[in-house]
């Protein structure tokens, strides 16, 4: 599990959030109520939707990078499974934003995902700092 799934899920989720970007383009440029959508550019659902799109792609990319690094350095790093899982759980952040926007869920998933991704990035950074070079 030490990296492979981060890369696979990272690419898949990036593809999904890219497709979501096409939906946002449709809502901005082609939807019947596009003027209303444009007028709410920096507030409400429009703003939250853009946050989900941007963070979804960022967190997907981070999973790809983290997965690649965990695979490349699996023999030199400790706690790779925990770092891998935390990075995957980090995807709850953008998914949680979408759950809030479209289904009215509370922001707990956003917070869990944000904390998990932050922890995985810091833990990986510390692991690389402590890694013995040959």
**If pLDDT is split at 50, 70 and 90, which confidence band does 134 have?**
low
Token digits of residue 115 = 């904390």
The radius of gyration computed from the CA coordinates of the chain, to the nearest angstrom, equals: 17
Is pLDDT above 80 for 1? no
User: Who's near 117: CB < 8 A, 6+ residues apart?
Assistant: 59, 62, 86, 87, 89, 90, 91, 93
Residue 117: other Cβ atoms inside 10 A: 25
Q: Considering the entire predicted model, what is its pTM?
A: 0.92
**If pLDDT is split at 50, 70 and 90, which confidence band does 39 have?**
confident
Taking the C-alpha atoms of residue 102 and residue 73, their distance in angstroms, rounded to an integer, is 40
């Amino acid at each position: 599990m030490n990296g492979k799934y981060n890369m696979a899920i990272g690419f898949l989720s990036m593809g999904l959030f890219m497709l979501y970007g096409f939906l946002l383009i449709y809502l901005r440029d082609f939807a019947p109520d596009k003027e209303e959508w444009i007028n709410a550019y920096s507030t409400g659902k429009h703003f939250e939707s853009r946050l989900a799109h941007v963070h979804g792609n960022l967190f997907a990319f981070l999973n790809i990078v983290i997965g690649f690094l965990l695979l490349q350095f699996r023999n030199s790093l400790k706690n790779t499974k925990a770092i891998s899982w935390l990075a995957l759980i980090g995807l709850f952040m953008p998914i949680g934003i979408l759950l809030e926007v479209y289904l009215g869920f509370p922001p707990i998933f956003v917070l869990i995902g944000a904390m998990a991704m932050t922890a995985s990035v810091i833990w990986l950074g510390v692991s690389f700092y402590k890694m013995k070079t040959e």
